[in-house]
């Protein structure tokens, strides 16, 4: 049970980190 929760949490942070990098690149591009 705990292991699957950690997997979901880990994938959530991985997706958030990818979105943050993408948004930062867009800001640099338009800046």
pLDDT at 31: 53
Structure confidence at residue 23 (pLDDT): 80
Task: Report the pLDDT value the prediction gives residue 5, as an integer from 0 to 100.
Answer: 92
Write out the two tokens for 23: 């948004």
DSSP codes, 1-31: -HHHHHHHHHHHHHHHHHHHHHHHHHHHHH-
pLDDT in tens, 13-31: 888 888 888 888 876 665 5
Distance CA 20, CA 31 (A): 16
Task: Count up the domains in the chain and report the number.
Answer: 1
The whole-number pLDDT of residue 30 equals: 56
Range of the domain at 12: 1-31
Measured CA to CA, the distance from residue 3 to residue 30 in angstroms comes to 41
pLDDT given at position 21 = 83
The arithmetic mean of pLDDT across residues 7-15, rounded, is 90
Residue 7 pLDDT: 93
């Amino acid at each position: 049970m705990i292991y699957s929760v950690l997997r979901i949490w880990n994938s959530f942070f991985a997706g958030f980190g990818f979105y943050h990098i993408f948004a930062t690149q867009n800001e640099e591009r338009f800046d």
